[in-house]
Structure 1
Amino acid sequence: MTTTTTQPLSKLDQLQKLLLRKNGASIAEMMHASGWQQHSVRGAMAGSLKKRGLVIISTKLDGTRRYHAEKPA
């Protein structure tokens, strides 16, 4: 009998998942998901997530800034 266990997503994995959604995520949504402060979320986008090869794009809709990520081709 084999059992498979999946490890919970790391905080960076959670942020990446949010950013890869069609609508992306706001800073507040990423702060809520990770439990991090605003400066830590921004730092993760500028550092670790870019090192993973993601291109972070910022847009402002109805006064709310949203971020989404794309994987380069």
Structure 2
Amino acid sequence: MAKQTKKLSKSATVKKMLSRGNGATLVEIMKSTGWKEHSCRAFLTGVRKTSNLLKEERPDGKTAYRIEAAPAAARAE
């Protein structure tokens, strides 16, 4: 029997992408979820309410969004 892995929800997938070191662009989020651009932007607005969402420019000129990691002191509490 093959081991089955649980599929992440779309929101969990996007949050995982945003937690990467280089974050995620709108195009990457759109491709991974099938959402339209306005839906991706609305999701990012929701993320801003609960996390520190950074907007950064990559060396190739594309805009990426990334959730800032909490400092070690904040995680310990």
TM-score range, shorter chain: 0.7 to 0.9
Mind listing any 5+ residue stretches in structure 1 that lack a counterpart?
none
In the other structure, the counterpart of 1:57 is 54
Corresponding residue of 2:17: 18
Query: Match of 1:67, SS?
Result: strand
- Normalising by structure 1, we get a TM-score of 0.78
Q: CA RMSD in A?
A: 2.0
Cα distance in 2 for residues equivalent to 1:66 and 1:50 = 14
Greater share of residues in helix: 2
Tell me the CA shift for residue 5 of structure 1: 6.4
Q: Tell me the distance in 2 between the aligned counterparts of 1:6 and 1:44.
A: 25
Comparing both structures, which one devotes a greater share of its residues to strand?
1
CA displacement at 1:8 relative to structure 2: 1.4
**TM-score scaled by structure 2?**
0.74
- Residue 66 of structure 1 aligns with which residue? 64
Q: Which amino acid aligns with 2:8?
A: L
